[in-house]
């Protein structure tokens, strides 16, 4: 599903954000990317999204080597993944429904398909009754659920989440985690970058730990750090 | 592209225009000013051409025929002139008698002075008045007629013709230059407006990129926004120009100076088709180019 082969990323400023990373995340897996800020978690996420180009090595996604993927094909790569960010990134001038439907318009879904799919995803994240509200009328947790609904609406094969609980209080954070777990249980691969120790420890999922751009640990069922 | 995504893009384009009211208004007004400037010169140019055409149809070359030419020789000369082809618009024969009478007419009450020339004493030569399809042929045609037999003399108002041609050409060049300036100005205005609009929606654009929107899809609404501004300003310019022109023509067109010269000016409706096509093509073309320029930077995510 996601395979990194000796991937390094050196930014133009000269800093090496990722050094010789090699790992494989299988279909249906739930993997945490952990490490302190600036360790290279976000760079790995950006490399998966092909927002950044790898300086060395190969990245294979869904069986395709995306290292030399043409810029024109990048949108189609991204349609196979749903992305969730720490800051939600919702459109403030559109309702919850429209924020989710927006993602379907972009892939040129038919209006009929949109009318069927959006309510379904909204009920999955538990926001059916808030479809007509605007993002600023929702709590942080609800906003993140809208973002999750938007990520899910086009049935991606994987969810890429960059610190999705970073702006949420612990309780709402768990709501989101339970949702992600549920989505994963339905067969969607989930890759989540985080530094929320207790979440990682309690979930008992695969943990890929990064320090200064180097993968220092890859546990199939690990905690946040090896000492725990 | 599927129809529903096209309607989506169009409705997003309209939303852009209204979301960006101030910038849209500003560019609309500037566009209209630029287009009116162009429109004025365009209208002047069309009229200059029209006047030249009218004058060329009245400004004939007078070909005087030798006095002893027979009727056959005269008709032979006429067919030779006609043989010059497309350049010739009309050939009118003026007999000796007609020449005398027109001279008498111009003398008015003193016309009886010419009575002595009646009949066989007529010293006025017969002539052909040759008019041309395009005044620029005049010197060429003149030379060719000179080569023909039975031609006594040729008279043409060379200077009037030359001046008219020069004016018409000058106006054409001015239109060309202004046209180029208009295109540059309009592209700058529209691309700037779209830049503001893109900036206002940069968050949306970055989200679109993450969700997997193609560049074409992201660009669509902004191109449509550019086209809307282009087309709306074209239409408003046409209305202003049309009303203004017709008002002016009412005052000037019927003035005694032009009427005595036998010159008519064009009605706006005569030019409407050309000017509409030019403006709409301009509006749409500039909308597309202007917005494409301003999008470049934002599409690299």
- Burial string for B18-33 (b: 16+ CB within 10 Å, else e) reads eebeebbeebbebbbe
| Mean pLDDT to the nearest integer, B127-135 | 80
Between A29 and B269, the more confident residue is: A29
Q: Is the dihedral of CA B44, B48, B49, B51 positive or negative?
A: positive
From residue B119, alpha-carbon distances to B70, B97, B98, B122, B123 in Å are 17, 8, 12, 6, 9
Task: Report the residue of chain A nearest B206, measured CA to CA.
Answer: A89
B1-24 pLDDT, tens digit each:
455 677 878 888 888 888 778 888
The pLDDT assigned to B262 comes to: 66
Query: Distance from CA of residue A215 to its chain's centroid?
Result: 19
Mean pLDDT of chain B: 81
Distance of alpha carbon A119 from alpha carbon A122, whole angstroms: 5
Distance of alpha carbon A220 from alpha carbon A207, whole angstroms: 7
Which of A48, A75, A82, A160 to mutate to test binding with chain B, by most B CBs within 10 Å of its CB? A75
A20-29 pLDDT, tens digit each:
999 999 999 9
Domain containing residue B268:
3-55+162-299
The answer to whether residues B229 and B262 belong to one domain is yes
- pLDDT at residue B301 above 60? no
- Burial string for A130-143 (b: 16+ CB within 10 Å, else e) reads bbeebbeebebbbb
Q: Is the dihedral of CA B138, B139, B144, B148 positive or negative?
A: positive
Please report which confidence band the pLDDT of residue A228 belongs to, taking 50, 70 and 90 as the band edges. Answer: very low
Maximum alpha-carbon separation in chain A: 53
- pLDDT at residue A48 above 90? yes
Task: Report the residue of chain A nearest B8, measured CA to CA.
Answer: A105
What is the model's pTM?
Answer: 0.69
- Length of chain B counted residue by residue: 301
From residue B238, alpha-carbon distances to A120, B48, B232, B288 in Å are 51, 20, 10, 21
Only one residue has tokens 């030399």, namely A68
Q: At what angle do helices B158-200 and B202-211 cross, to 10 degrees?
A: 70
- Domains in chain A (CATH in brackets) are 1-80+157-228 (3.40.50.300), 89-155 (no CATH)
Q: Coil, strand or helix: which one is B68?
A: coil
Total domain count, chain B: 2
B277 HSE (CA, 13 A, CB side): 3
Between B285 and A215, the more confident residue is: A215
Q: Do B212 and A150 touch (CB under 8 A)?
A: no
Query: Final residue of a domain: which of B156, B187, B212?
Result: B156
The answer to whether residues B176 and B251 belong to one domain is yes
The answer to whether residues B233 and B295 belong to one domain is yes
Task: Report the residue of chain A nearest B209, measured CA to CA.
Answer: A75
Distance of alpha carbon A193 from alpha carbon A161, whole angstroms: 6
Highest mean predicted confidence (pLDDT) among B117-121, B146-150, B161-165, B233-237: B233-237
Q: Do A75 and B213 touch (CB under 8 A)?
A: yes
The answer to whether residues B138 and B14 belong to one domain is no
Distance of alpha carbon B76 from alpha carbon B180, whole angstroms: 51
Highest mean predicted confidence (pLDDT) among A14-18, B182-186, B218-222: A14-18
List CB contacts (< 8 A) between A83 and chain B. 210-211
The answer to whether residues B66 and B103 belong to one domain is yes
The answer to whether residues B27 and B64 belong to one domain is no
The answer to whether residues B31 and B178 belong to one domain is yes
Distance of alpha carbon A147 from alpha carbon A126, whole angstroms: 12
Only one residue has tokens 């490490």, namely A35
The answer to whether residues B187 and B205 belong to one domain is yes
- CB of A120 within 8 Å of any CB in chain B? no
Task: Report the residue of chain B nearest A148, measured CA to CA.
Answer: B211
The answer to whether residues B135 and B217 belong to one domain is no
Beta strands in chain B (DSSP E): 61-65, 88-94, 127-132, 151-155
Chain A / chain B CB contacts < 8 angstroms = 50
The answer to whether residues B193 and B140 belong to one domain is no
The pLDDT assigned to A107 comes to: 86
The pLDDT assigned to B259 comes to: 66
List CB contacts (< 8 A) between B211 and chain A. 78-79, 83, 102-103, 106-107, 150, 154
| Mean pLDDT to the nearest integer, B171-175 | 83
- pLDDT at residue B260 above 70? no
Six token digits for residue A40: 């290279």
Query: Final residue of a domain: which of B134, B156, B178?
Result: B156
Distance of alpha carbon B26 from alpha carbon B274, whole angstroms: 27
The answer to whether residues B27 and B176 belong to one domain is yes
Only one residue has tokens 């993968």, namely A215
Q: Do A75 and B4 touch (CB under 8 A)?
A: no
Query: Final residue of a domain: which of B131, B156, B181?
Result: B156
Distance of alpha carbon A139 from alpha carbon B10, whole angstroms: 33
The answer to whether residues B202 and B250 belong to one domain is yes
| Mean pLDDT to the nearest integer, A46-50 | 93
A82-99 pLDDT, tens digit each:
999 999 999 888 899 999
Q: What CATH number is given to the structural domain containing B91?
A: 3.30.70.3040
Number of neighbouring beta carbons within 10 Å of residue B211: 24
Distance of alpha carbon B255 from alpha carbon B270, whole angstroms: 20
% pLDDT > 70, chain B: 90
Q: Do A107 and B203 touch (CB under 8 A)?
A: no
Q: Do B212 and A91 touch (CB under 8 A)?
A: no
Number of neighbouring beta carbons within 10 Å of residue B79: 9
Strand ordering across the sheet containing A56-61:
A16-25, A2-10, A56-61, A64-65
């Amino acid at each position: 599903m996601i395979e990194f082969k000796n991937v390094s990323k050196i930014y133009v400023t000269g800093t090496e954000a990722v050094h010789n990373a090699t790992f494989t995340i299988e279909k249906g897996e739930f993997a945490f990317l952990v490490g302190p800020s600036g360790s290279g978690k976000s760079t790995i996420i950006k490399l998966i999204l092909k927002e950044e180009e790898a300086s060395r090595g190969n990245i294979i996604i869904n069986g395709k080597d995306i290292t030399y993927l043409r810029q024109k094909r990048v949108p189609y790569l991204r349609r196979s993944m749903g992305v969730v960010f720490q800051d939600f990134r919702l459109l403030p001038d559109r309702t919850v429904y429209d924020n989710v439907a927006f993602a379907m318009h972009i892939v040129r879904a038919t209006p009929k398909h949109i009318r069927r799919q959006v309510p379904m995803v909204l009920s999955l994240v538990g926001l059916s009754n808030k479809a007509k509200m605007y993002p600023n009328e929702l709590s942080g947790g609800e906003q993140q659920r809208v973002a999750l609904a938007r990520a899910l609406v086009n049935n991606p094969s994987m969810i890429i989440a960059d610190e999705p609980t970073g702006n949420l209080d612990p309780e709402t954070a768990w709501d989101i985690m339970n949702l992600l777990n549920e989505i994963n249980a339905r067969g969607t691969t989930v890759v989540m970058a985080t530094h929320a120790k207790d979440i990682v420890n309690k979930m008992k999922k695969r943990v890929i730990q990064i320090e200064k751009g180097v993968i220092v640990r890859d546990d199939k069922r690990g905690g946040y750090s090896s000492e725990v | 592209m599927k129809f529903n995504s096209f309607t989506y893009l169009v409705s997003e384009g309209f939303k852009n225009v209204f979301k960006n009211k101030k910038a849209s208004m500003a560019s609309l007004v500037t566009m209209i000013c630029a287009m009116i400037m162009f429109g004025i010169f365009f209208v002047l140019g069309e009229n200059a051409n029209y006047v030249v055409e009218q004058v060329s149809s009245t400004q004939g070359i007078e070909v005087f025929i030798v006095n002893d030419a027979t009727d056959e020789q005269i008709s032979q000369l006429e067919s030779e002139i006609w043989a010059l082809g497309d350049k010739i618009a009309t050939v009118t024969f003026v007999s000796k008698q007609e020449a005398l009478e027109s001279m008498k007419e111009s003398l008015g009450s003193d016309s009886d002075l010419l009575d002595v020339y009646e009949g066989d004493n007529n010293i006025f030569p017969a002539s052909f008045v040759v008019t041309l399809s395009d005044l620029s042929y005049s010197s060429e045609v003149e030379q060719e007629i000179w080569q023909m037999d039975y031609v006594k003399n040729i008279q043409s108002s060379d200077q009037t013709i030359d001046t008219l041609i020069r004016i018409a050409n000058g106006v054409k060049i001015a239109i060309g230059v202004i046209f180029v300036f208009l295109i540059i100005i309009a592209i700058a205005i529209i691309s700037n407006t779209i830049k503001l609009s893109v900036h206002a929606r940069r968050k949306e654009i970055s989200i679109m990129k993450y969700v997997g929107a193609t560049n074409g899809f992201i660009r669509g609404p902004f191109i449509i926004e550019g086209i809307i501004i282009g087309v709306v300003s074209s239409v408003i310019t046409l209305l202003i120009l049309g009303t203004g022109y017709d008002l002016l023509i009412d005052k000037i067109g019927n003035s005694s100076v032009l009427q005595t010269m036998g010159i008519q000016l064009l009605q706006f409706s005569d030019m409407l088709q050309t000017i509409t096509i030019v403006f709409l093509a301009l509006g749409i073309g500039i909308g597309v180019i202007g917005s494409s320029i301003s999008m470049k930077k934002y599409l690299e995510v």
